[in-house]
Amino acid sequence: MARSRALRPAQALAGAGAFAVLLWVAFLVNLIAGGYFSLLLGIAPRRLDGLDGVLFGPLLHADTSHLLSNTLPLLVLGFLTLLEGIRRFLVVLACSWLASGLGVWLTGAGVTIGASGLVFGLLAYLLVRGFYNRSWRQMLLAVVIFIFYGSVLWGVLPTAMPGVSWQAHLFGAAGGVVAAVLLRRRRPHLG
């Protein structure tokens, strides 16, 4: 794959902020509509009419605490990913979005909304990309990220916490790993 043009920190922060604003706008529209869109556009597992939730579910959140719990990690992890370029960010986001959504649709237990699958996808991408790229700088950054966010990785395990979709977390993280593989640096062949 062609190399993505890196962004300056201010551009990366603006991009991550714009995505967070999009989530807050969607939340406010849904709030004004009385939560109607959560039921209409959430991921309804194994139902054909719930398949559109794969596209729209990550944009919706149940309440402000749900959205706040996703906003800060999306800002930080989105910023770090955007530093590598918009194209890379979009590939990571798309892989995480689709893997999380389809995974929930296939294995979920109830209507699911929220961007936590994207958070886990960005986190997994940032944690493993250094190994695929053989970059000690990226591995060092992965260690720092793990220190701050590593404890959330328990969220990929089946839990008894009602309202928490471990499936979204697990499949979102898998999407992030897939993105790291797809975006790994190609080594030239000698010979």
Is residue 188 included in any domain, yes or no? no
Looking at residue 190, what is its pLDDT? Answer: 52
Establish if 172 belongs to a structural domain: yes
Whole-model pTM: value is 0.93
Q: What is the pLDDT of residue 189?
A: 52
- Within a domain: residue 50? yes
pLDDT value for 2? 47
Q: Is residue 27 part of a domain?
A: yes
Q: Is residue 131 part of a domain?
A: yes
Q: How many domains does the chain have?
A: 1
Residue 141 CB: number of other CB atoms within 10 A? 16
10-residue stretch averages of pLDDT, the chain, 191 residues long: 77 98 98 96 96 98 96 97 97 98 96 97 96 90 91 83 88 98 76 49
Coil/strand/helix, residue 184 = coil
Beta bridge partners of 43: 112
Structure-block tokens of residue 182:
């797809």
Residue 36 located in a structural domain: yes
CATH code: domain of residue 156? 1.20.1540.10
Distances (CA, A) of 56 to 7, 13, 113, 130, 138: 27, 24, 8, 31, 32
Contact (CB, 8 A) for 139 and 130: yes
Give first-to-last CA distance, the chain, whole Å: 21
**The domain containing residue 39 runs over which residues?**
9-182
Domain assignment of residue 63, yes or no: yes
